[in-house]
Structure 1
Amino acid sequence: MKQMEVTIMGQSYLLGCPEGGEAALAEAVSQVDREMCAIRDGGKVKARERIAVLAALNLAYQLAEDGGTAAPAAQAEASAQAAAPDLGRLPDLDGLMRRLDEALEHDGHLL
């Protein structure tokens, strides 16, 4: 497993990434960063943990609204990675919270 350093909302994170999954991870990081920055820039939420939860819920809602359908190239790339989430299923909330806690371990747990 390869490691990639990424930046989300101005903070660096070192993430595990399967070989060949760099482009998909970079796109996912970009989506999360855009969503979190938009929430922060809205001015009503300041706590990083709350911003992360709201961004995760917004992204999960978008997946559910799309019915799990994505562009064919994105689906092919996602299915090529064993460690990537299946875009055809909405992840369970507990798993999502666990992944957010792991990503934000230096900031403290969400709940």
Structure 2
Amino acid sequence: MKQMEVTIMGQSYLLGCPEGGEAALTSAVAQVDREMSTIRDAGKVKARERIAVLAALNLAYQLAGTAPSTVVAGPIASPELDALVKRLDDALGHDGQLI
């Protein structure tokens, strides 16, 4: 397995990549970077961890096929997502809040 250095939202990561998987990994990294940057650029969320969780939720939502061509552009784009983020914050408690 080879290693690739990638950059997501200005931070470098060294990732393992199977031979022949470079194009797929590069595409996935670009998609994650776009999603995280979109959330960050909306200006409502500053914490990198919260941005990552929201981006992961948005991408998982897309993969589930419930919105094949819709990207959730902001951190609170739907009541369902807002409720999920609130549940995450409640579960983490005051010291671990994502905001």
TM-score where L is the length of structure 2:
0.66
What does residue 42 of structure 1 align with? 42
How far 1:65 moved relative to its partner?
1.8
d(CA) in 1 for partners of 2:67, 2:49: 27
What does residue 59 of structure 2 align with? 59
Deviations 1:45-99 (A, max 9, x none): 000000000000000000112699xxxxxxxxxxxxxxxxxxxxxxxxxxxxxxx
d(CA) in 1 for partners of 2:42, 2:5: 27
Q: CA 1:20 to 1:54, structure 2 compared with 1: closer, same or farther past 3 Å?
A: same
Q: CA 1:45 to 1:27, structure 2 compared with 1: closer, same or farther past 3 Å?
A: same
Task: Give aligned pairs, total.
Answer: 69
Unaligned runs of 5+ in 1: 69-109
What does residue 15 of structure 2 align with? 15
d(CA) in 2 for partners of 1:47, 1:36: 11
Amino acid at match of 1:48: R
**Percent identical:** 86
Root-mean-square deviation (CA, aligned residues, Å) is 1.9
Larger radius of gyration, structure 1 or 2?
2
TM-score where L is the length of structure 1:
0.59
Q: Which runs of 4+ in 1 moved over 4 A?
A: none
